[in-house]
Chains A and B, each alone.
Chain A
Amino acid sequence: MQLPVTLCPIPLPPPEQQVARNAAFAAEGEARNRYHLPSGLASPSPVGYRKRLALTQEEAASAAALLALEPPSAFVDGAAPTEAELFEEAALGVLSARQSTNFRGQRQVTLGPEDSAAIAGILRAAGAPALDNARYTHVALTRPYRTPFTFLLTFVGHSAWTSPFGVLNRAWQKKFAHADDIPTIGYLQHLHVGIWADAVERAALIASGGARRAHVVLAPFADRGRQPAIERLIGLDDAAIAEGWRVAFVAQVGAVAEASPLSPELCRKVGANLLAFRSERIQPGVNAEEKAPPQYQTRQDMDVPQALTEMAGRAGYNAFCRWTGVDRESAKRLLLLERIDVLTPTGKERLRAVRSHLEDVTDTLVRRLPLWVDLPTGRALSRNALRGKKAFALAGQRIYVGGLCKPEIEAAGLSFAHAVRAFGAAASRSALVCELAGCIDLPEGCDLLSGICLMAGPVNQNDIGKSFYGGRDLLADAFTGRDPTSLLVWTLKAKTVADPIGNEEQLMNASQKGALVDLRPGPADVAALRIAGQNIPMRQRDGRVNSERAFADVGNFVRDAAGNDIPGNVGSAWPETWRSERPWA
């Protein structure tokens, strides 16, 4: 069902345009801003400030296998995992899966071999596919998506006279019935689960150096609600259930007989790269702010090649086929993808129309915010909403707007919630094509050659317009007469300079706010190992918590031009005695 994906190199711009971020520490007395290196990183996260590593074309060809992975058909006997392997697998999965790192909404409990056998039995009894001989099993948990943005939404879409009651009712429904203000907020949870599930397949392979693979069972969990047998097995308590925590998927992991498409060395390199990929919002010369350094001010003569854009689409269809089980032609029919080629006149016009539409929604939202909540907060809510305009400006050379048509999905015999999960996987895998390709033959002096920004914000904004102000879907013009629901937008950018490191700091510095992608949590915050009937937080022991960065041996840490580290960024390896333990051996 899945077709091989080819990673195409990105043609370089002229030498004078091959520029990099080159961030420096603020000099003594100089006011620090988002273009300076952070003064330090105090975080248990395995991620840290990282930079992309160059891949040769041969390495990229091997790594492309990750974009068309088929699930394993059987597990064979193999070595028990070490604690270090489990840590790095979690680092690439629950702790950093792109756009799925809102740790407030995702957790993981990992079961040993005995519990893995028990859960395989539970899956089979429920009619779900399961493999024997799993060395360990991740049970992924999810809960409704809640962030400062969803808090703001509570105040949106009420009539002027009834707003106090409407707000109270909405807040009550949210708190106790886990209701969502607009449909796409509910879909966010599913999109994140899909992205995470797709990442777990790659994570198991990479963290084990190719020795192990994950068999992810996703389909049965989208609509079923409670899973008492599994909940008991992982010790999910009543308080967690009341908070809305539910089983999202089950990932069995074990050794496989087939050879790995990636060598162990390449696994390390790709793993380190995956931890370096960030959303790239800035297109040099297009949407940089005035005070940005010169390298952000000049347009770069480079483009995301047509062939790569097509491969990004192919990888997306691969993922949709993998997770829904539909054939390729059905995937192409069901997955609604509008491609906007911004460098063409039609593309420019379309982009302007999308921007204008989203700005209209924002203006209406701000105009109709109840004054009784906005004024006492010093108009913080409306100012926050207006800030979204910049985020929804959609800069990039190629833009995909994607979604699904609910009646068509249901007519195809699929659960819509599950299809949304598969869509999340498709979008992130499609985006990954561009990110990996951006590392091919990456020259010195360039941070990347292409990157992406995967966003739900524009479709949420569009959905506000749809739900409250009678607007149309973002995909309505591209798919006339088909009742589309847009779900994600991803922009593909060819450029050589990475976004300001201050943008990353928002994701990692606990003292800064970061509403969506959150790379702050340490393993102990989101991952636990089930040992002797207890959930043991990963890497929290004897008063210590993790300070190791995953794949640190590869050494792709951000440094200044003189090679100085950001204090705390390199991290510190967990004691070898603990790293080499085999938790269930």
Chain B
Amino acid sequence: MGVSPFDTPPVVPLWRTALKRGAGGSIPHIAATARTLRGDPAAYAEVCGLPASPMLPVCFPDMLCRGLQLAVLTDPAFPVPLLGIVHVRQRIEQRRAIAADEPLSGHVWVEGHRPAQRGGELDMHTVVSNGEEALWHGVTTILSRDLPRLPEANEPEPKREPKPETPFQHQRSTAWTVPEDLGRRYAKVSGDVNPIHQYAWTAKLFGFKRAIAHGWWTLARCLAEMDVSSDTWPGVLSVDARFLSPVSLPSTVWFTSGPMDDTVDGVTGTTSGFALRSSGKLALTGTVTQTIAR
């Protein structure tokens, strides 16, 4: 158990993440904090197709804490190798819109894991605060095949049933092109230079046919398409997304979204569903809930 305090999130070199080895065993509480978070939301907004805004983009606080997250994941006590881990789910709760010039601090931690179908899953929590209150809480669920899976899942996986259609009326239905250089452009603003996102040849070294889009970019771009932003929604905003398959670069992706219902736990608000398909497969699906208050 340990907490690494930083003034600002550290820059973790790529080699440390690539060479990170795991000793196995359960995941202890590992945390890192930073008193000050800094970033360039304008550049981020541009690469994600978001209108420039005096407010932070909804996914941006995670990027502010990227260094803290890597510090946690490369901590010697973290028992899982980083090569091969997969970002499978993302939950975000933004308590209110965050101004771009607001002083912010960050806190990232992991602890424990749970067995799942294809390995073990762990949750990495990222909290961004203004010193008085938590404004943004992200839960990044990571799958690792190096963690123990469900006992019954040791059997061969049954043939999968076709995924059901997304349960919402299409208010938006469109296609857009994801360019080949996207991974490199996003890497410039996010600092995430994972080779699987850069070039086809670097991705091939890690078993991919082509480079794939960053999951966080994919999610941010979907929210941009839905016009979900702190500008348009000052209240509580919750996002729950599942990453199902990668988006190859370049490719044409098909996006749909629409309303699901009008009340959330009896509180006034709206929930919209969204789905992104790439190469005929669901790549990302999720919901966005906007509520006045909880």
A568 at the interface (CB under 8 A from B): yes
Interface CB pairs A-B, < 8 A, 10: A43-B175, A542-B46, A547-B174, A566-B173, A568-B254, A571-B172, A572-B174, A573-B227, A575-B229, A577-B229
Least Cβ–Cβ distance between B125 and chain A, in angstroms: 30
A566 to B170, CA, bound (A): 10
Contact B172 A573 (CB under 8 A): yes
Contact A576 B232 (CB under 8 A): yes
A354 to B63, CA, bound (A): 70
Q: Mark A506-545, 1 if CB is under 8 A from B, else 0.
A: 0000000000000000000000000000000000011111
Q: Which of A545-585 contact B (CB under 8 A)?
A: 545, 547, 565-573, 575-578
Least Cβ–Cβ distance between B129 and chain A, in angstroms: 27
B171 at the interface (CB under 8 A from A): yes
With contact pairs A547-B176, A567-B254, A569-B173 given, residues A575 and B46 touching in the complex (Cβ less than 8 Å): no
B50 at the interface (CB under 8 A from A): yes
A360 to B179, CA, bound (A): 50
B256 at the interface (CB under 8 A from A): yes
**Residue numbers in B under 8 Å from A285 (CB-CB):** none
Contact A544 B176 (CB under 8 A): yes
B224 at the interface (CB under 8 A from A): yes
A contacts, CB < 8 Å to B: 40-43, 541-545, 547, 565-573, 575-578
What 9 A-B pairs are tightest by C-beta distance, nearest first?
A42-B175, A572-B172, A577-B51, A547-B174, A572-B174, A544-B49, A570-B173, A568-B175, A542-B46
Contact B170 A542 (CB under 8 A): no
A57 to B179, CA, bound (A): 49
With contact pairs A568-B254, A576-B232 given, residues A547 and B175 touching in the complex (Cβ less than 8 Å): yes
Contact B49 A543 (CB under 8 A): yes
Least Cβ–Cβ distance between A87 and chain B, in angstroms: 15
Contact B170 A570 (CB under 8 A): yes
For A575, give its contact among B51, B176, B254 (CB under 8 Å).
B51
B252 at the interface (CB under 8 A from A): yes
Contact B46 A567 (CB under 8 A): no
Majority secondary structure of chain A interface residues (helix, strand, loop or mixed): loop
A380 to B255, CA, bound (A): 39
B53 at the interface (CB under 8 A from A): yes
Q: Mark B150-185, 1 if CB is under 8 A from A, else 0.
A: 000000000000000000001111111101000000
B219 at the interface (CB under 8 A from A): no
Besides A542-B48, A569-B173, 10 more A-B contacts (Cβ < 8 Å) are: A542-B49, A544-B176, A547-B225, A566-B173, A567-B256, A568-B173, A568-B175, A570-B174, A573-B172, A575-B50
Contact B254 A40 (CB under 8 A): yes
Least Cβ–Cβ distance between B162 and chain A, in angstroms: 11
Contact B49 A41 (CB under 8 A): no
Contact A576 B227 (CB under 8 A): yes
Contact B225 A572 (CB under 8 A): yes
Least Cβ–Cβ distance between B164 and chain A, in angstroms: 14
> Which among B48, B170, B176 has the highest number of chain A CB atoms within 10 Å?
B170
With contact pairs A42-B252, A542-B49, A543-B49 given, residues A567 and B175 touching in the complex (Cβ less than 8 Å): yes
A70 to B171, CA, bound (A): 38
Q: Which of B213-272 contact A (CB under 8 A)?
A: 224-227, 229, 231-232, 252, 254-257
**Residue numbers in A under 8 Å from B50 (CB-CB):** 542, 575
A546 to B50, CA, bound (A): 13
Q: Please, which residue of chain A has its CB at the minimum distance from the CB of B171?
A: A570
B65 at the interface (CB under 8 A from A): no
B134 at the interface (CB under 8 A from A): no
Q: Please, which residue of chain A has its CB at the minimum distance from the CB of B170?
A: A565
B27 at the interface (CB under 8 A from A): no
- Count contacts on B: residues with CB < 8 A to the other chain: 29
Q: Please, which residue of chain A has its CB at the minimum distance from the CB of B252?
A: A42
Least Cβ–Cβ distance between B234 and chain A, in angstroms: 14
A566 to B254, CA, bound (A): 11
B45 at the interface (CB under 8 A from A): yes
Q: Please, which residue of chain B has its CB at the minimum distance from the CB of A547?
A: B174
**Residue numbers in A under 8 Å from B254 (CB-CB):** 40, 42, 567-568
A424 to B207, CA, bound (A): 59
Q: Please, which residue of chain B has its CB at the minimum distance from the CB of A581?
A: B51
Contact B231 A577 (CB under 8 A): yes
Contact B224 A575 (CB under 8 A): yes
For A565, give its contact among B47, B173, B176, B231 (CB under 8 Å).
B173
**Residue numbers in B under 8 Å from A543 (CB-CB):** 46-47, 49, 179
With contact pairs A567-B254, A573-B227, A577-B231 given, residues A542 and B45 touching in the complex (Cβ less than 8 Å): yes
> Which among B171, B227, B255 has the highest number of chain A CB atoms within 10 Å?
B227
Least Cβ–Cβ distance between B224 and chain A, in angstroms: 7
Least Cβ–Cβ distance between B46 and chain A, in angstroms: 5
Least Cβ–Cβ distance between B252 and chain A, in angstroms: 6
A290 to B214, CA, bound (A): 51
**Residue numbers in A under 8 Å from B51 (CB-CB):** 542, 575, 577-578
Contact B252 A567 (CB under 8 A): no
A576 to B225, CA, bound (A): 11
For B174, give its contact among A542, A571, A576 (CB under 8 Å).
A571
**Residue numbers in A under 8 Å from B231 (CB-CB):** 577
Contact B170 A40 (CB under 8 A): no
**Residue numbers in B under 8 Å from A567 (CB-CB):** 173, 175, 254, 256
**Residue numbers in A under 8 Å from B257 (CB-CB):** 572
Least Cβ–Cβ distance between A377 and chain B, in angstroms: 31
A545 to B225, CA, bound (A): 11
Q: Please, which residue of chain A has its CB at the minimum distance from the CB of B172?
A: A572
Q: Which of B1-56 contact A (CB under 8 A)?
A: 45-51, 53
Least Cβ–Cβ distance between A180 and chain B, in angstroms: 36
A97 to B93, CA, bound (A): 46
Contact A568 B174 (CB under 8 A): yes
Contact A41 B224 (CB under 8 A): no
A322 to B45, CA, bound (A): 48
Least Cβ–Cβ distance between B94 and chain A, in angstroms: 18
Least Cβ–Cβ distance between A226 and chain B, in angstroms: 37
Contact B175 A40 (CB under 8 A): yes
For B53, give its contact among A40, A41, A570, A577 (CB under 8 Å).
A577
> Which among B50, B172, B175, B229 has the highest number of chain A CB atoms within 10 Å?
B175
**Residue numbers in A under 8 Å from B226 (CB-CB):** 572
**Residue numbers in A under 8 Å from B227 (CB-CB):** 573, 575-576
**Residue numbers in A under 8 Å from B47 (CB-CB):** 542-543
**Residue numbers in B under 8 Å from A570 (CB-CB):** 170-174
A575 to B254, CA, bound (A): 18
**Residue numbers in B under 8 Å from A575 (CB-CB):** 50-51, 224, 227, 229
A571 to B49, CA, bound (A): 16
Least Cβ–Cβ distance between B31 and chain A, in angstroms: 35
**Residue numbers in B under 8 Å from A565 (CB-CB):** 170, 173
**Residue numbers in A under 8 Å from B175 (CB-CB):** 40-43, 547, 567-568
A180 to B200, CA, bound (A): 47
A544 to B172, CA, bound (A): 15
Q: Please, which residue of chain B has its CB at the minimum distance from the CB of A545?
A: B176
A565 to B257, CA, bound (A): 12
A570 to B255, CA, bound (A): 11
A41 to B118, CA, bound (A): 36
**Residue numbers in A under 8 Å from B48 (CB-CB):** 542
A554 to B116, CA, bound (A): 46
A576 to B172, CA, bound (A): 14
**Residue numbers in A under 8 Å from B53 (CB-CB):** 577
